[in-house]
Structures are given as structure tokens and as C-alpha cells.
Chain A
Amino acid sequence: MPKRTDIHKIMVIGSGPIIIGQAAEFDYSGTQACLALKELDYEVVLVNSNPATIMTDKEVADQVYLEPITLEFVSQILRKERPDAILPTLGGQQGLNMAMELSKSGILKELKIELLGTKLTAIDQAEDREQFKDLMEELGEPVPASGIAHTVEEALAFAEQSGYPVIVRPAFTMGGTGGGIAETAKELHDIAENGLSLSPVTQVLIEQSIAGYKEIEFEVMRDAADNAMVVCNMENFDPVGIHTGDSIVYAPVQTLADREVQMLRDASLKIIRALKIEGGCNVQLALDPDSFKYYIIEVNPRVSRSSALASKATGYPIAKMAAKIAVGLHLDEIKNPVTGTTYAEFEPALDYVVCKIPRWPFDKFTKADRRLGTQMKATGEVMAIGRNIEEATLKAVRSLEIGVHHVEEPALASVDDDELSDKLIHAQDDRLFYLAEAIRRGYTIEDLAELTKINVFFLDKLLHIVEIERALKANVDDLDVLTTAKRNGFADQTVADFWHESADTVRQFRESHQLKPVYKMVDTCAGEFESTTPYYYGTYEFENESIVDKKPSVLVLGSGPIRIGQGVEFDYATVHSVKAIQKAGYEAIIMNSNPETVSTDFSVSDKLYFEPLTLEDVLNVIELEQPRGVIVQFGGQTAINLAQPLADRGVKILGTSVADVNRAEDRDEFDKVIKSLQIPQPAGDTASDEATALAIADRLGYPVLVRPSYVLGGRAMEIVKKRADLDHYMHNAVKVSHDHPVLVDRYLVGKECEVDAICDGETVVIPGIMEHIERAGVHSGDSMAVYPPQSLSADVQAQIIKYTEQLAVALNCVGMMNIQFVIHDEQVYVIEVNPRASRTVPFLSKVTDIPMAQVATRVILGQSLKDQGYQTGLVKAGDMVHVKAPVFSFSKLNRVDSLLGPEMKSTGEVMGSDRTMAKALYKAFEAAKLHVPSNGNILFTVRDDDKPEAFKLAQRFHALGYQLLATTGTASYLTDNGLPVTVVKKIDSGEDDLLHQMEAGQVQAVVNTVSDEEQAADDGTLIRNTSIEHGIPLFTALDTVAAILQVRESQSFVTQAL
């Protein structure tokens, strides 16, 4: 059937801010969907609150609403836009949940709006545990024995019967939020209680544990004519028990005979047909490793993280096809965009192996619980393609950017056997490294399989890697062994370590013997049909397929896996840079390792190399492609860190020169620049050992801000108030050395703001100044930011503009730079200069309507700003106020302290725009799901320093009619100053203590600034954790509280007695 003509206008719901379990993959799928619908001449209305996305670019939809994805705002947009239909299946769980909420509110019926893709009944059948179970029974598809519980008691009763362990899965949560495996009644009690509170329908599924089964996934598609097909199947390295988002995954399946594959394929197709999904669907299955017995674990009736992975793994654009199917097209009517010759009704055949490894945030959250289970914890993932498992795995490992280039973590060599076996049984994020270590120590793979339930097939691949390691050690400079090592994915650096040589020496040796990678195409059809997809991966084989175009090219380095501090914002900038390169008449080549992103959609660039972003892999591509130069400004720290080593090897870095990058990033060099310009900066110095650090701090006076140099996202950055703490920091938080010095700065209390600027060496354009709501001390990535600034004096703004212009010119900046300032007593100080695109580029580009990354790219390619119509200075702001707010994923991570500080903790962002600051703030808070109701109880528990300020805030809450609660210390301060406060009962003092009150919904917001060390008695961490678990808005910075008060005050009338 051709596309539907009875609908004209379609609303697409995005997935909102990036949180664990719902990340950049939905920018990729949403962008694809919007473009596909536009291609079919539908008018597309998009709602998404996340500015850091390509999908919210004006060109992607006809109407882009950067508004909160809440019933209130989406309903308003529906009334205004009157679309004929909504496509909710491409915005993750957020999109589906929003659709359900809209439907329940009655507005869809009222406005006669149709839901495309997946019907509500199917959403219910797939997501409501009880209905899902019924459907599977009806289909004769096995599900693990399970029971639905609405109370903890029901959960315990089920487990009594089924026996432990059991798995707890809360209904209608994404990424397994609140789920877990319970081995004992006590564990079940805790997990079920938490899960029930997180489930919007207070419902959890208690399930017989099938931990140890093979975990298999099928990505399936179906159209309205009931054509159904499998795009990709995948096998998890980690057996059932670890969330698939936290599992190492291979595509296609590896250890299943065809009979098993077809059995599971049949089941998956039967399910998508029964659910009548028109679009994509993900089916997760558990297969007994010792029989044909299998169970259906879960069905996602929408495009998911796995479908993004499957799209990149096969080349088959699932989201694009799903959108077309949703408007009535059939699979056999849509051309397969990869081959251009075959139809979308085609099950891709792979002739390579794909390995996905999750990227976890434990390098930043060092205190977090690293154990893996049914709750997803990864913030991102990498994918690598190779011609065998070893190659794909090792390429993926070195794509992770966790400081290793091989499955070897040197620190593990000193772990004792007891700990080793504990870490093998109780999987953490680093189990792969423990497995390799165990094999090196002589554990047999049979023993390891017994301990871990990981299939020996996969363990044998690790064993093979270790065998090659031994061969390398025993045969220095042996070409045959090197060839074997390279074919199995070893990095030059790894070989160099074994041979006690430099990686450059290995490279020269290898190249002198013509041992170089070739690049093969990802074509969906294993070479059966002619394809022109410009999508390649490197491998050590016979034939190279990547033909170098005559047109001059420019290589853009992407930003690798999404992690805290380096998120989707950098992908946004990368994609924009590519567009500008193409418009300038060059061929744009992208290298990246992240399957979730828009930049790794092969239709974005002229050529995509899906490769690790390491020096060796980048040099290999450069050697083949011979680009005019490399752009490193948009790929975050990943790309900028490659600038120096690339330049050292003769590669031309386009834009700001490497020497100038160093002048900005090297503390001593930067000092010289800033002194010569006479720009104020907080006094500070560089220490390369502990004693020097202490001496500097003594000289500056406490508090001081300490951090390692060359970091992103404020990793290991701390405000230190006394000498003993600095001593502790130097010994525990960082490994200081001459090569890795620590910066010690005076900590200035004041307002923070930042600018992004574009410079061509002469002209310096400042698109905007962003004022942070939280004062210095909270990482800029975790601060709310307002554009244009609302409280900066003209003098302060003038200083900011002046310093920015001076610095950009002095640093010979060509392209983008970002400068952070602190304002202390009306004096502006420079805190930090980043000679690259920052995370605020998408936000600022959107609110100023200046495509900053594109303008900067044109500058980098040689077009002056003047020629582009820009002049030096701050661009005049419009009449709207825009607020960017951070979003956190604390509910997914146990034992991570949610107290904000200089170390970045947020995973995503939203924005709110309106005519007044208060309205913009309201939208930002709503979009971030920090909803404080108009009345109720506000709990205060603050440290001594904050009490006077907290008093003023409490007073304002009181004036609005809120009831005040406080812990003993805070309460007495507030009471002494004349506020009516209820003292909450100490934790553990019984049924009606604070935590119980919070759990019972008697607390509407929490203001908590007590850190662990200070007043353990106040149980700051416990209170924060309880707020997070129960979704109570939590504020750990008083400035944020002032902002929410501003919102509430603007919405209320003053009621004052005479």
C-alpha cells in the first residue's frame, strides 16, 4: 500500500534528556524518523526537551518544540498544532509513556488524533507484566514462572513458592530501573519495595530466575500487510542475569545452531505479529544452554537501544523504515537504502562480527556499586567490527577510552585469587579484564565457564588472545606472529609493550612488511549485491574496498562513547561540522566508535569509518585517505587528545594549532598568556608532588580548588577546605607526577558564567554569555544556565567580552573556544579556557540561531568570519529567556552521592524557554521532572555555613504556604529565627521517622546540603538516596532552590493578613 493520504501532519515525541537507559540512540532514531516522514511530504511536529540533539534542529522537522515532555505542555502543543497522528515509538520509553498518558487524559479522542506504529493495546500487552504473561500463554510462548505483586507481601509469598533466587522487574520503567535479583527474603523485601515505589502503577513482576541461560535478542520489523522479518539477532557474552544494556553483546548469534536460531526467530515473529506492531520491536529471549528450552524475557514494542545497535551492526536503518511503515508503506515497497537495488523486505546477512561493550561511569563515580545486575548502569557503549570475535572484541576494548588498549588491566595482576574468583562470579563492569587475568594465571576455560556461565566458545576466544600474547613475548620482531596478532585485533601498542619497543617502531616494522589494514564495507548483504554504502571497518585481510575519492577530503574525529562529561553534545557538533565541510565542497569523512549516535549514521557523512579513536587506528585511515587535514575541535577531549600525537607524525590539524591548544591547556603556558594580557584569574599554581601542592595551598589560603590537569567533566576535582583534606586528596584521589601535575587554585565564591566563542584569528564572535544559576563550586555541566544573563551588570558583561576577545586572539584560536569565568565582587576572573567546542554548543546554537559548529568549521576551512557576515563582539540576544538544566541518573546507580560539587554528575540536559525568567525556569524544572507541587512539606537539612541563607529560602517557602520540616540542627536555627518548623524524627527512630515519612509521600521536596564527612548524624546521604529512590525533588545547591522559589512565587498571589 502506498503511504497514507488521510493524514498530513504527524507529531513525533522525542525521548527527552539523556539518562542511563535512554540515551543518544533516540536522537539517532528520532532524527531518522523525522527525516523519513518529511521525505514522504508529511508535516512533522517534533516535541523534545533535549537541546543537545540533532533531532531538535530546525531542519529536521517542520515545527520543533523544545518544550517539556509533560501532559501539560504536549497537550497545549497538540491543541495548537492539531496533528492528525502521533508517532510515539521512536522516543524510547519516554515517548511511549507520554502517549499512554495523553491517551488516558482523553485528548487524543477529543482531537481525533491517531497513534501510529504501536497501538495502545500492544503497548499494554508488551509492558504490563500481567497482560504480557497472558499474551505469551495464549501464543504458547514460554515465559519464566512469575507472579505479579502490588505489595511486598505478595512478592514474598511468590518467592516462598518458587524458591530463590528471583528476579524483580517493576512495570513501566525503563532500563530495568528498580529491578534486581534477590537471593534472600531480605533482599527481596528491599528490592520489591523500591521497585514498587518506582513503578508508576505500583506493580512488580517476581520471576523465577533463569540466570545462566544464553541471552539472545532479535530485532524484528513488521508492516501493516503482516510482512515480518528479522533485522538482526544478537548473543550476549554475559548470560541472563545482567541487563542487556550492561552486557557485552555480539552480532550475529555465535553459538546457536540453525535449528535454535530458527526456533527463536519463529517465536519473535509470532510475537510481533500478535502485537500487531507496525514498525520495529525488540524481543529478548533466554535459551537453555543444554536443551531447546527457551523463555521470552521481554518485548519492547518500539525502537530501542538494541535497534540502534542493530542498525549500525547491519547497516539497516530500522528507525527510518519503522517511520515509513507507520504511515502505511509496506516493506516490499521501500527500497533498501544501503544497496539501493534491493527492497527493505530483506533480512541482512553479515560477513563480519560486531562486538558491543558498554561504557560505565565508574571512572567518575568511584564509590558507586559496580556490580552488574538487572539494573542498567552504563551511560554509553562502543561498537567494533572485525572479521572475527578476537578482533571485534579488542577493537571494542580500545574504543572504550578507559586507559587501556588491550584486555589487560595492569592493576589486576596484584589481585589475589580469592578476590579474582569473587569478581568472576559477581560480575562488575570490568569482568572481561578479570577473565583475561584468570586465563593468564592458568585457570582453565572450563572452570571459568563453570564459575561464570559464560559459554566456553567466548572464553576460548579470550584464551586465544592470551596464547597470542605468549607467542608475541616469545617471538620478538617475528612477522608471522605479528600478522596473527594484527588479524586478531591486537593494537600496535600492545605488541610494543610485549616487545619492549615503541608503538611507532612496531608500526614501522609492520608497514615495512606491508602489514596494513584494509577497509571493508558494511552492505547488509555479505557482498551478494553491489552496494555503494560509504560505511567501512578496518581489518587485516586481502582486499581493500574503500576507494579514495579524487575530491579533497577532511577527516572529522568523533567523540567516542557517551560518558559523563562527554555526552551527545559533541556528536551534535561533529555532525554540524560535517555538514559545513560538505557545503564547502570537500568530502567529509567521520571516524567514530559509538553506535548510538547520529554521526555514525552512514548517510550523514560522505564516508564513515567505524573504528576505535586511537592514534593507530586514526593514522591508518589517514594513510589511506590522505585528507587535507583533520578536525579535532568537535570530538571533545577524545579528539583533542589526539591532536598532538597526530601532529607529531606529520598530520595536519585544521583550526587552532596544536601549539596554541597547548598554550591554553598547559597551566604554565597559559599563565604566561594571561599575565601578558593582564587578565585576572584565581591565584594558583601547578604541583607535581604532594609537598608542592600543600605549599601552594598554604600560600593561597584555603579553600582551594584542586584538580588534575587535562581532564574533562571535572573528574577528581574538589574544593578543599583544610590542609588535612588536601593531604588526603593528594594521596587518594589522584596519582600526581611530573607528567600528570595537579592544579591548585584559590577558590573564589561567586557567580559563574561561560561563553562559547568563534574566532578566525582576527574576528571574535561571541554568540552568547551563559549565566549559571549555581555559584562556583558546582561543575558547569551540572549547573543550570541562563541565556541571556539576567543578573550580570553591564560592566561585568563588558569585562567578559573583552577578556574573551583578548584570549581568542592571543591564543590564535581558529575555530571554537569556551571560556569559564567566575565573578567575585564585580570582578571577572578566568577559570578555564577550552580550545575546542564545548558541551554548550548545541544549546547556544539553538537559542541564538547561529549554527556555531558550522560557522566554526567554515573558519577552520579558511573562510573568515567577516566573509560569513559576522563581526567581533557579543551577538545581541533576542527577547526570550532560555534555561538549560542538568538531568541526573542517580536512581540507576547505587551508592553514588547526589550532592553536587566540582565533579560533574549529570548525564543529560533539558531546556526551557519563555518570555520571563520564571516561566523559562518552570519549563526547565518540569522538563527535568523536578516538579514541586504548589503546596506541601519542604524538608530542610543544611550544613552550618548554609543556615543563614537557607533561612531566607525557608521563609519564602513559608510565605507561599508550604509547611517546613527540618532535621534537629537546621530546625533549631530556623525556629530561633522565628519560622514555624516541624522537627523530623531521627532516622531509625521508628515507624514515623523521616525516611518513613518520605516513603509515605509526606515530603514534597528536599533541600539538603550536608556532605558525608561533616555531619554523619544528619544522615545526609541516606536522605538524599531516599529522595532519589522515591522521586522526591532534591536540591543540593541553594541557588537552585532560589530558582524554584522564583518559579513558585511567580505563579502565586500574595496572601498576606493585615
Chain B
Amino acid sequence: MKRYLVLADGTIYPGTGFGAPAATVGELVFSTGMSGYQESITDQSYNGEILMFTYPLIGNYGINRDDHESIKPTCKGVVVHEVARRASNWRSEMSLDDYLKQNQIPGITDIDTRAVTKHIRKKGAMKATIVDEVLPDTVERLRVTELGKAVVAESSTTNAYPNPATGPNVVVVDFGLKHSILRELAKRHCNVTVLPYNTTASEIMALNPDGVMLTNGPGDPKDVPSALPMIREVEKHIPLFGICLGHQLFALANGADTFKMKFGHRGFNHPVREIATGRIDFTSQNHGYAVSRESLAKTDLMITHEEINDDTVEGVRHRDYAAFSVQYHPDAAPGPHDADHIFDEFIDLMAAHQVARKGSKFNA
């Protein structure tokens, strides 16, 4: 079925529909990862976004039961050059087409995704829609459509739930978490309690955790003001670790500023340098906002990590508190595992804090 990808600046790309036949509106972004479409599509950070893959063949290995990053995907659409006719992998359970249909996500294929990518690179990420036909007012209607700001509320859990284990007690504040964060914590035997995004500091303190994690999530960090007082309070007492949106919120809470990037970092070949050691990791990234480097000057945060090509702030640490954050995804999935040592650092930080406070480690 012929469908169209229409951009807010009026550019129209004809293609063929797949997935759900519904119309959709979202911010069009691109990811350069050559594998991992399943993880990306199910990543809640894409809530509100139409996800385009620069690699032209998507769906080659189907969809499996293991690699989901959330239960209910919330991205607004999927744009590809060619969706696989036939998936082939021993774990594959269904085709990408069927999966998108099942989850009411529209897709469009036969698009010159490279042309669209270059367009976005030049003009910046912008609103787009996938429609069956282009009407005279399609572009105008797209222009005036307000994209939802409540994406974190949509993506976050509404109820607290545990992921019990015998290690350090970790509270995970869910802004739209990727399951791989829980997997990394589970690998390290953390006794996890996941709380909704709007949890207060006192609710967290009541659980007396060894550490608090701020997860990734969709949208503009400035749309989640409720988290800032929570962070300001918690960081004084408990080791804190933020990832992606969690990192941005941690920076905002400490007086830094964030800004919307032209077209963001989405993919997993972004080299990130740890300033102290010079170590470089290839990192999995998915962010359209970043922490302003200049704004950090007047805060108690110091830059610990940076992207080597465009100098984006990729990690900060609090000068006084046991609190740090990274912009990228040390939990990978999709993407390289280079940075998974960051989770070990969090574990070490919690342990050191325990020793300082009580003279002993966790009773694990």
C-alpha cells in the first residue's frame, strides 16, 4: 500500500506502508545502528518519535522474545529503506511487520532513508507524519500539531515493583527505563525496587536504599520538573547514578542547563572519552537533548566524560556527593558492551558509601 512520509518543512517522500495502517505524528529521528532494531523500537526513549534506521535492511532476523527493552513499545512509527521479506534467525518468533501490527505502530518502507537522514542532518530533527494520502492541508496540520509533553508519564510505570535479589538495595526511578538497565543490575545481584517517575525524595528515603538510579526516558528533561527536588534531596544522602534522561535531570537539578541538539545522537558508534583516564568506549546512545557544557561552570558538577568528535558532555560527577551520571547507555542493548564497567563503578560507589557510613559493606 502506498503511503507517504511527510515532514513539517513540506518535504514529501513516497513509500510503501507496513506495520499498522494507522496515521501517525511524531518527531522524526534517525539511528545509525546497523543491528538492534528490536531493542530500539522497544526503547521507551523513542516515545513520541518516528524512528528511522539508516541501515537499509531492517527486519532481517525478525523479532524474538528476549530482546525487548520494554513491554509495550511507544515509538510513533518506523521508517526503513527495505523491510525484510523473510526473517531468519533461530530466535525469531515473528516478523517485524507482524510485531508492529500487533503493537499498532505504523511503518513505511521503500524510502530513500539516506536522503531523509541528510535532510534532517541539515535541517534538524523535525515533526513528521506517515499518511495514506497527502491532502492540501496535511503539512499545515502537521505544523500546528503539538507533540505531547507527557511522554515520561506515559512511559514510566505507575506502580512500584520489586526485582528482588540479595545484593545492594537499589531504587530505580523509572522515567521510561530500558530493561537492560534492570538486567545489568540483576547481573550484579542488586535488590531492585522500581518506582514511578514522580516518586518523592521522602518516599525513596523511606526505603533506605544503598543507591538510587535515574533511568533513561523520552522527551525534554525540562518537561519533568517534579524530579528535580527529589534529586536534590536524595543526592545528599544516597549514592546516585543517572543514565541518559536521568543524567540530564541530575544536571538540571544541580543548576546546569540542557538544550535540544540539532539531530541528536542515536546509534552505537559514538566514542566517549573518560577524561581522567583517557579511556575510550564505544557507546550506545539515544538522546536528542544534552547538558550544556558552559552551564556546568557555575555548578558543583564536573565533566567526567565527553564525546570525542563533537565534545558533547557525556558524563558528570558531583564534587561533594556520591553522585554521577552518563549521557550514553552503559547498558548497551543495542550496541557495544564497552561501557558496562560503569555499573561496576556504581556498585563500588555504593560499597564505599556503606563503609564510610557504617564501617561495613552490604549484608549481601
Contact = CB atoms under 8 A, between A and B. Distances in A.
Interface stretch (B79-87, B188-196, B199-207): B79-87
Given A256-B89, A349-B267, A351-B117, A341 B280 contact: no
Contact of B89 (A255, A262, A265, A350): A255
B32 A345 contact: no
Interface in B142-157: none
Interface string A438-471: 0000000000000000011100100010000000
B32 A258 contact: no
B60 A255 contact: yes
For chain B, the bracket of interface size reads 35 or more
If over half of B's interface residues share one DSSP class (helix, strand or loop), that class is named, otherwise mixed; here it is: loop
Contacts of A332: 271, 273, 280, 308
Contact of A541 (B64, B85, B114, B332): B114
If over half of A's interface residues share one DSSP class (helix, strand or loop), that class is named, otherwise mixed; here it is: loop
A259 interface: yes
Interface stretch (A158-166, A526-534, A723-731): A526-534
Nearest to A343: B308
Contacts, number: 147
Interface residues of A, number: 51
Interface string A248-271: 000011111111011001100000
A262 B334 CA distance: 8
A545 B119 CA distance: 12
A871 interface: no
A346 B61 contact: no
A542 B81 CA distance: 11
Interface in B86-136: 86-91, 112-115, 117-118, 121
B86 A457 contact: yes
Contact of A460 (B66, B85, B91, B267): B85
A526 B332 contact: no
B115 A225 contact: no
B255 interface: no
B33 A349 contact: yes
Nearest to B15: A542
Contacts of B88: 255, 455-457, 460
B36 to A, nearest CB: 3
A388 interface: yes
B54 A527 contact: yes
B45 interface: no
A346 B280 CA distance: 10
A460 B86 contact: yes
Contact of A256 (B61, B82, B84): B61
Interface in B33-87: 33-36, 38-39, 54-57, 60-61, 64, 66-67, 81-82, 84-87
B280 A350 contact: no
B343 interface: no
Contacts of B61: 255-257, 457
A541 B115 contact: yes
Given A331-B280, A351-B117, A457-B60, A258 B112 contact: no
A225 B273 CA distance: 12
B282 A259 contact: no
Contacts of B332: 262
A527 B90 contact: no
A257 B67 contact: yes
Contacts of B273: 332
A542 B32 contact: no
A252 B55 CA distance: 10
A348 interface: yes
Interface string B314-353: 0000000000000000001111110000000000000000
Contacts of A225: 278
B55 A350 contact: yes
A16 B166 CA distance: 62
B159 interface: no
B89 A525 contact: no
A167 interface: no
A351 B333 CA distance: 20
A349 B32 contact: yes
B309 interface: yes
Contacts of B304: none
A342 B309 contact: yes
A453 to B, nearest CB: 13
B38 A457 contact: no
A352 interface: yes
A768 B269 CA distance: 54
A520 interface: yes
Contacts of B54: 349, 351, 526-528
A389 B57 contact: yes
A236 to B, nearest CB: 15
Contacts of B115: 541-543
B57 A258 contact: no
Contacts of A520: 114
A345 B55 contact: no
Contacts of B91: 257
Interface string A513-538: 00000001000011111100000000
Contacts of A341: 309
A353 B34 CA distance: 11
Given A387-B81, A457-B86, 12 more contacts: A227-B280, A257-B64, A262-B332, A332-B280, A349-B33, A389-B57, A455-B88, A456-B86, A457-B84, A526-B54, A528-B267, A543-B112
28 contacts: A225-B278, A227-B280, A252-B34, A252-B55, A256-B35, A257-B89, A258-B33, A258-B333, A259-B66, A262-B332, A332-B271, A343-B308, A348-B269, A349-B32, A351-B55, A352-B56, A387-B81, A388-B56, A457-B88, A460-B85, A525-B269, A526-B55, A526-B117, A526-B267, A527-B30, A527-B54, A530-B121, A541-B115
Interface of B: 13, 30, 32-36, 38-39, 54-57, 60-61, 64, 66-67, 81-82, 84-91, 112-115, 117-118, 121, 267-269, 271, 273, 278-280, 282, 308-309, 332-337
Interface of A: 225, 227, 229, 252-259, 261-262, 265-266, 289-291, 331-332, 341-343, 345-353, 387-389, 455-457, 460, 464, 520, 525-530, 541-543, 545
